[in-house]
Amino acid sequence: MLSLMLDIFLNQATPEEIADTLMMRLRGCYLQVVICDHHRSTSTENQNELIAFIKRGLADRYPSLELTTILPSNDDRDKAFAQTQTILKVFPRVKLIMDISAPAVPGSAEAVQQSGRKDVGMIGLSLPTICKPYVHSGIVKTIILWNTRNLGYLTVYVGWARLSEKDS
């Protein structure tokens, strides 16, 4: 029997690639941008790295945009909803909410919808199924997600390649 221990990590996308894709979706048409991330605090390494790339992308591509605030949503739709309600009141010039958490996008989108503000858009990193009504209503302008099928194929291929390597 073959006993084999593999320690492999496959990252679905790098923070730089995610930030770059989000920047391509901005098109420079917003005055103020808010980022909601998904951790209880902004002390998580991958989130800090993603936020740093987003900040860099905003400065390089859209220097006239103002990053108003960055708020954690704890991967919680209800918290994103409540925070977005507050953001819309405290920062009336905000024209875009950028969520980098799957549950935050529909939470923020619901707050925008209930506010009746047609001048506020949403983009983010989320799942199409949970954002569908907000995409159809036009509140969510774009969502991004890595290709899970390709990630699955890659995972199987890397496992097979590593096993083949051990057999030879």
DSSP assignment string, the chain: -----------SS-HHHHHHHHHHHHTT--SEEEEEESSSSTT-HHHHHHHHHHHHHHHHH-TT-EEEEEEE-TT-HHHHHHHHHHHHHH-TTEEEEEE-STTHHHHHHHHHHHHT-TT-EEEEE--HHHHHHHHHHTSEEEEE---HHHHHHHHHHHHHHHHHHHH-
Quote the pLDDT of residue 61.
87
* CA–CA distance, 7 with 138 (Å, rounded to integer): 43
Q: For the chain, how many structural domains are there in total?
A: 1
Q: What digits encode the pLDDT tens for the residues 92-137?
A: 888 889 988 889 999 999 999 999 999 998 998 888 899 999 999 9
Q: What digits encode the pLDDT tens for the residues 29-57?
A: 555 666 665 444 445 677 788 889 988 98
Cβ within 8 Å of residue 153, ≥6 positions away: none
Is residue 160 included in any domain, yes or no?
Answer: yes
Is residue 7 included in any domain, yes or no?
Answer: no
Residue 137 belongs to a domain with what CATH number? 3.40.50.2300
Is residue 123 included in any domain, yes or no?
Answer: yes
Q: Which domain holds residue 29?
A: 15-167
Is residue 56 included in any domain, yes or no?
Answer: yes
Q: What digits encode the pLDDT tens for the residues 68-99?
A: 888 888 888 999 999 999 999 998 888 889 98
